[in-house]
Amino acid sequence: MTLRCGTWAKGMLWLAAGATTALHAQSVAEWNAEQAAAEAKADKIMVEAAHQKGLLSQYMAMREAYARDNSTAFHMIFGQYISWYLSFLGEYPLATQAFFIAQPAQPVDNPSPLGGGYTARPALDAIPEFAGHYQIVLLNEAHNVAMTRSLTVALLSRLYQQGFRYFAAETLSSKDTGLQARGYPIEDSGFYTQEPVYAEMVRTALKLGYKVIAYEAAPNAATPDQRETEQARHLYESVFKQDPRARLVVNAGYEHIVKSGVYLGGQSMAEHLYKLTGLPMLAIDQTTMYPRPSGQGDHPYYKAVMDQLHPKAPIVFADANGKPWSLRPAYDVTVFFPPEKLEHGRPTWLSLWGLRQPRLISADGCHGHYACLVEARYSNEGPDAIPADRMLLDTPAPLAVSISGLKAYGNTQAVPSGTLYLRPGSYQLSFVVGPYKVLHRATITVP
């Protein structure tokens, strides 16, 4: 199976109902053993689900497995797996509800940027300026929260203008040797590339002229530190060994990009890369200050900043000398994302901060069959391309409900409709049900 960035073994996690009681009733050793068994079971289910044809069928198999096991450890771990697939289907708010990492205040936190001599700036403008004197820019993401990679898509053109020419993304597969020439990702390009915003990130880099690097470690990495070491080595050998003056943008999950401290018993990919290159890096954290469901788990600074500034787009803070603010010392910059706003059941950040525009799509092409997956592919790409956007349309008994009691956010009227977010251009629409049965195709143009 393709390597993924697991997070349940560390940090502050959202737990399913009853988790606290379960933890109090058993020893740490018992809880760890239950987690290990749940992880093994979750991986086995995911491998089996992957043999199903089409994302809808894969998701249904996983959802049914989730419903059959009510144990706390399994729901905590498999909830993350479910959340990845919800994001692949375009069910973004539900993906965030199914799994998120809370961000309580910690002793290492820097003082709040409010009232501390810092000024809020649009992240799209400030980050390219911060990056001006660096050869390496590291951007992290929460893998099931596509909002945390939306800014990266928009930043790529600005960083290209600064002279960055290499882009590396976690879990891209080195086996897809045709990616650069083809110009767009397909199902075999990686794991997270199945999510349309991630695919758009890779596609954007290719269109701009970046050399796209697959730097993932081999699936049989024995320890977390071995994986981090191997990732760093791949980046060094693919980029700086060949081009010492190269400028590189790296996308990674969570704390793979921390510049100091112990990471999973060893060191992070970024620390290993520094040992190989000696190059200073700009580490940008996008995983601490995004909106959690209903405010549950938000860092105290997040609420204070949103209440005072009401930003409509991602922001960062800098002092009078232009030095950026970060929540924690292992990073250089912390991005604050605005609260999520829904229109026609879909988040408006899917505009990618101005790159795309909404297009309302009716369910006529579903011919009354639900759940129905609507996909929009660029007309100049093949039918194997990961769509530019996709959404799930359903009836008043939606497919996505009852993930640990959570409600589906989508449109559930008798004849549903929804909004796709697309760049200007021509697209092929597909309306899909079941194991990838296409009921209808159409061509649309976004002016």
CB count, 10 Å around CB of 274? 18
Question: What integer pLDDT is reported at residue 390 of this predicted model?
Answer: 97
Question: What integer pLDDT is reported at residue 435 of this predicted model?
Answer: 83
| Helices and strands: H and E segment counts in the chain | 12, 16
Q: Going from the first residue of the chain to its last (447 residues), give the mean pLDDT of each consecutive group of 10, the final group possibly shorter.
A: 42 37 67 92 93 90 89 90 94 92 95 94 98 97 97 98 97 96 97 97 98 93 91 98 97 96 92 97 98 92 98 98 97 98 94 97 91 96 97 69 45 68 98 89 96
Contact 340, 351 (CB under 8 A): no
**Considering only the top CATH level, what class is 119-336?**
alpha beta
Question: What integer pLDDT is reported at residue 416 of this predicted model?
Answer: 77
237: DSSP letter: I
Q: Is the bond into 25 cis (omega within 30 degrees of 0)?
A: no
Domain boundaries, the chain: 19-98, 119-336, 356-446
Burial 353-390 (b: 16+ CB within 10 A, else e): bebbebbebebebbeebbbbbbbbbbeebeeebbbbbb
Question: What integer pLDDT is reported at residue 396 of this predicted model?
Answer: 56
Tell me how far apart the 2 most distant CA atoms of the chain are, in Å.
Answer: 60
